[in-house]
């Protein structure tokens, strides 16, 4: 495989599927040496560029750009940009006070006039959650399925941008001309209904973005990943156009061997659980956008003689959206308001809640703390967590489960029963996909670096030559030319941190917050007389998080004496400049604190002159 730094050996021993040391000989026509292939003249019409702004190296903030019309080098001034997804990422615990992380918009800002649209693969936050922030800066139309746009719409509406944003609904299989882009929306199965892969038909052949997908052969709605269409694209068409030039494929579960279980397998587990819980009240938690899961929970509930109530704002909104779009089917007579659940015997109620990730303010977390105003838990409740904790959320989820158990509820989670199925393709599905798509070049997307590397190994295993498997990272630019796909520089792709209002939190602020959180702060205030060169007032020390001041008077007195001595010495040497004096204070205070307590709080010196 090849990354930006050059060719690297595949870490064969890291791959989970017991790969053979040498990949089998490739039979894909596009893997033949260029000279042996017939490259049609029509293909020689300028390079196409692919720019990755997020999602390659982390799970979240997915955002890629396809560019055409930029001439032979691909980067000419006439090029146009098409965005595929614009998602957000939830912060790590060490990003103090950060609410969200977005893709860096610098490149998009610089090319705002060239952007023709955003196409959304599906309605998950890591794909559409940053749209509202982008749309604040520029007005571009958004394309996606009705459900995808319905889910994205809430956030766009919250930002007050609905009026000036054109939302274009596409149907499965639609091929839409968007400016110079010929874009096809191919159905795929995932953990939100109506997701799409995106095929962009370019002068350099088809660039296929898999979107988030799994190959679920028995999906809840019978709408399968359209492998037949992908196979059709892979064949060199009669007009001599190339097959799939570049495949960008979901890497999330590339380390997992085998095939992901079908979503419908969860339905049968739920049914037997509901049967076991006769007479008990059931509360479930799942992702609010996972309408197929919600459908299966509702079906199991209604079939076992229960009514259904939703708990939590997002699930209520999404259930209504699903019913309006015909994606969800729950008879109105069986859907009750959560206020009314006590009018039914516990064994005839099922509450469908949000909060499967243990989010502290979610309905389920409030329930686990006994603070939910609609539902109070008791020992006749069974709580089913029909979900899997996203990395980083485990401790929150564990805390919620402990709370539920303390209140006497029975808790069922995916660790003890198969009440969850992933929405992302595992190794065998990726291999199937690769064998059908037969891409000329393969670029793993959507994953941490190790997921990308594991997915790259699958590409090689399935016959894509090693030098045509490109492991890219956020910020990488690829040029798809007549003969090859190459790394062609970098664009800014750092994290954009959102705390309240977008854009005002940089790395410096985050570093300060980390010091404040871990070590505390020491403020030293001194007033000096410039004329006489004497300390007039202070030093006074105010601290939070270093030592608890009322219990450390002696230490603080000693610190004041040490700092006063340092300031007086400087003054005696003729130093009068406030900044220089502040440096002396910081140095003296920092040394004292480190020597005496082995801690490194933030030192804030304030020198005032009288
Ligand atoms: Zn995703
Ligand atoms: Zn997704």
Closest ligand relative to 127 C-alpha: 1
Whole-angstrom Cα distance, residue 111 to residue 190? 32
- CA 282 to chain centroid, in Å, comes to 30
Q: Is 413 helix (H, G, I), strand (E, B) or coil?
A: coil
Chain position carrying tokens 């410096």: 508
Instruction: Give the residue from 445, 118, 53 showing the smallest Cα distance to 250.
Output: 445
What's the CA-to-centroid distance between 103 and ligand 2, angstroms? 17
Centre of ligand 2 to C-alpha 148, Å, is 11
pLDDT at 550: 74
Please give the helix or strand (H or E) that residue 486 lies within, else none: strand 485-490
CA of 574 to the centre of ligand 1 (A): 63
Q: How many whole angstroms separate alpha carbon 470 and alpha carbon 484?
A: 12
- Mean pLDDT computed over 525-553: 81
Each residue of 190-218: pLDDT tens digit? 999 999 999 999 999 999 999 999 999 99
Q: Measured in angstroms, how far is the CA atom of residue 551 from the centroid of ligand 1?
A: 51
pLDDT, residue 11, reads 57
CA of 290 to the centre of ligand 2 (A): 10
Q: What is the mean pLDDT of residues 58-67?
A: 95
**CA atoms of 541 and 546, how far apart (whole Å):** 11
Q: For 265-296, b where at least 16 C-beta lie within 10 A, e where not — what string? A: ebbebbbebbeebeebbbbbbbbbbbbbbbbb
Distance (angstroms) between ligand 1 centre and the Cα of 452 equals 14
User: What is the Å distance from ligand 1's center to 251 Cα?
Assistant: 10
Check if 424 is active-site: yes
- Please tell me the distance between residue 126's alpha carbon and the centre of ligand 2 in angstroms: 7
Q: How far from 243 is each of 43, 191, 444, 471, CA to CA, in Å? A: 12, 29, 18, 21
Q: How far is the CA of 72 from the centre of ligand 2 (A)?
A: 35
Q: How confident is the model at residue 236 (pLDDT cuts 50, 70, 90)?
A: low
**Ligand sitting nearest the alpha carbon of 87:** 1
Tell me, in angstroms, the distance from the centre of ligand 1 to residue 326's CA: 24
CA of 546 to the centre of ligand 2 (A): 43
The number of the ligand nearest the C-alpha atom of 289 reads 2
Give 197 Cα–ligand 1 centroid separation in angstroms.
Answer: 12
Nearest to 245 by CA among 443, 453, 493: 443
Q: Which helix (H) or strand (E) holds 535?
A: strand 534-544
From the CB of residue 18, how many other CB atoms can be counted at a distance below 10 Å? 8
Ligand nearest to the CA of 55: 1
Banded pLDDT at 445 (limits 50, 70, 90): very high
Cβ–Cβ under 8 Å, residues 233 and 210: no
CA triple 18-472-20, angle to 5 deg? 15
The predicted pLDDT at position 20 comes to 40
Q: What is the pLDDT of residues 317-337, one digit of tens each?
A: 999 999 999 999 999 999 999
H helical segments located in 56-194: 106-110, 125-128, 131-137, 146-158
Q: What is the pLDDT of residues 146-197, one digit of tens each?
A: 999 999 998 898 888 988 899 999 999 999 999 999 999 999 999 999 999 9
The ligand with the least distance to the CA atom of 126 is: 1
| Ligand in closest contact with the CA of 193 | 2
Find the 446 Cα to ligand 1 centroid distance in Å.
Answer: 7
pTM: 0.84
Angle at alpha carbon of residue 39, lines to 33 and 45, rounded to 5°: 125
Distance 2 CA to ligand 1 centre (A): 24
Identify the pLDDT of residue 207: 97
Confidence of residue 16 (pLDDT cuts 50, 70, 90): very low
- Catalytic pick among 250, 299, 474, 476: 250
Hey, how many other C-beta atoms are within 10 angstroms of the C-beta on 450?
Answer: 14
- What pLDDT score does 39 carry? 43
Distance (Å, whole) CA 109 – CA 214: 34
Question: Distances from the Cα of 284 to the Cαs of 116, 361, 422, in angstroms?
Answer: 42, 17, 17
Q: How does strand 167-169 pair with strand 142-144?
A: parallel
- Tell me the CA distances in angstroms from 96 to 311, 493, 496, 515, one per residue in order: 29, 21, 14, 10
Count other Cβ atoms within 10 Å, centred on residue 35: 7
Tell me if 131 sits within 8 A of 156, measured CB to CB: yes
Which ligand has its closest atom nearest to the C-alpha of 59? 1
Ligand nearest to the CA of 446: 1
Query: In the predicted model, is pLDDT for residue 225 greater than 60?
Result: yes
User: Active site residue: 424, 446, 451, 584, which one?
Assistant: 424
Question: What is the pLDDT averaged over residues 536-552?
Answer: 80
């Amino acid at each position: 495989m090849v990354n930006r730094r050059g060719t690297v050996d595949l870490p064969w021993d890291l791959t989970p599927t017991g790969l053979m040391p040498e990949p089998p000989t490739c039979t894909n026509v596009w893997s033949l040496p260029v000279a042996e292939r017939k490259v049609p003249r029509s293909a020689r019409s300028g390079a196409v560029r692919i720019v990755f702004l997020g999602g390659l190296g982390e799970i979240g903030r997915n955002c890629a750009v396809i560019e055409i019309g930029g001439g032979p080098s691909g980067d000419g001034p006439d090029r146009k940009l098409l965005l595929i997804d614009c998602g957000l990422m939830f912060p790590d615990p060490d990003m103090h006070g950060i609410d969200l992380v977005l893709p860096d918009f610098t490149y998009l800002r610089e090319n705002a006039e060239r952007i023709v649209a955003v196409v959304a693969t599906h309605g998950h936050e890591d794909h559409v959650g940053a749209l509202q922030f982008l749309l604040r800066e520029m007005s571009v139309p958004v394309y996606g399925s009705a459900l995808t746009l319905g889910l994205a719409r809430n956030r766009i509406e919250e930002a007050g941008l609905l009026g000036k944003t054109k939302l274009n609904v596409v149907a499965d299989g639609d091929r839409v001309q968007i400016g110079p882009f010929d874009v096809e929306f191919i159905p795929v199965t995932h953990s939100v209904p109506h997701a799409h892969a995106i095929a962009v038909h370019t002068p350099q052949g088809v660039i296929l973005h898999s979107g988030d997908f799994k190959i679920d052969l028995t999906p809840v709605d019978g709408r399968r990943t359209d492998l037949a269409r992908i196979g059709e694209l892979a064949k060199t068409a009669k007009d001599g156009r190339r097959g799939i030039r570049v495949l960008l494929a979901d890497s999330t579960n590339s380390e997992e061997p085998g095939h992901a279980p079908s979503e419908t397998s969860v339905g049968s587990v739920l049914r037997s659980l509901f049967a076991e819980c006769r007479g008990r009240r059931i509360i479930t938690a799942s992702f609010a956008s996972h309408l197929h899961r919600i459908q299966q929970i509702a079906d199991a509930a209604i079939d076992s003689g229960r009514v259904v109530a939703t708990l939590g704002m997002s699930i209520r909104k999404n259930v209504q959206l699903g019913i309006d779009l015909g994606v969800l089917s729950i008879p109105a007579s069986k859907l009750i308001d959560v206020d009314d659940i006590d009018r039914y015997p516990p064994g005839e109620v099922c509450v469908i809640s949000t909060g499967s990730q243990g989010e502290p303010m979610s309905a389920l977390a409030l329930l686990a703390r006994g603070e939910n105003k609609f539902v109070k838990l008791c020992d006749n409740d069974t709580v089913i967590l029909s979900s899997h904790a996203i990395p980083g959320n485990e401790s929150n989820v564990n805390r919620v489960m402990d709370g539920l158990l303390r209140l006497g509820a029975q808790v069922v989670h995916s660790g003890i029963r198969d009440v969850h199925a992933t929405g992302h393709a595992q190794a065998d599905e990726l291999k199937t996909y690769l064998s059908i798509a037969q891409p000329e070049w393969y670029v793993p997307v959507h994953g941490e670096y190790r997921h990308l590397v594991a997915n790259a190994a699958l590409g090689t295993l399935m016959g894509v030559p090693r030098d045509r498997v490109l492991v890219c990272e956020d910020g990488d630019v690829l040029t798809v030319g007549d003969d090859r796909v190459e790394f062609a520089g970098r664009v800014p792709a750092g994290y954009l941190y959102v705390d309240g209002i977008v854009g005002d939190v940089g790395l410096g602020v985050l570093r300060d917050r980390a010091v404040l959180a871990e070590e505390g702060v020491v403020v030293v205030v001194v007033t000096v007389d410039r004329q006489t060169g004497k300390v007039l007032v202070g030093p006074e020390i105010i601290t939070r998080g270093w030592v608890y001041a009322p219990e450390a008077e002696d230490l603080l007195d000693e610190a004041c004496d040490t700092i006063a001595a340092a300031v007086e010495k400087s003054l005696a040497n003729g130093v009068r400049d406030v900044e220089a004096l502040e440096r002396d204070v910081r140095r003296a205070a920092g040394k004292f604190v480190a020597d005496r307590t082995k801690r490194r709080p933030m030192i804030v010196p304030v020198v005032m002159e009288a």
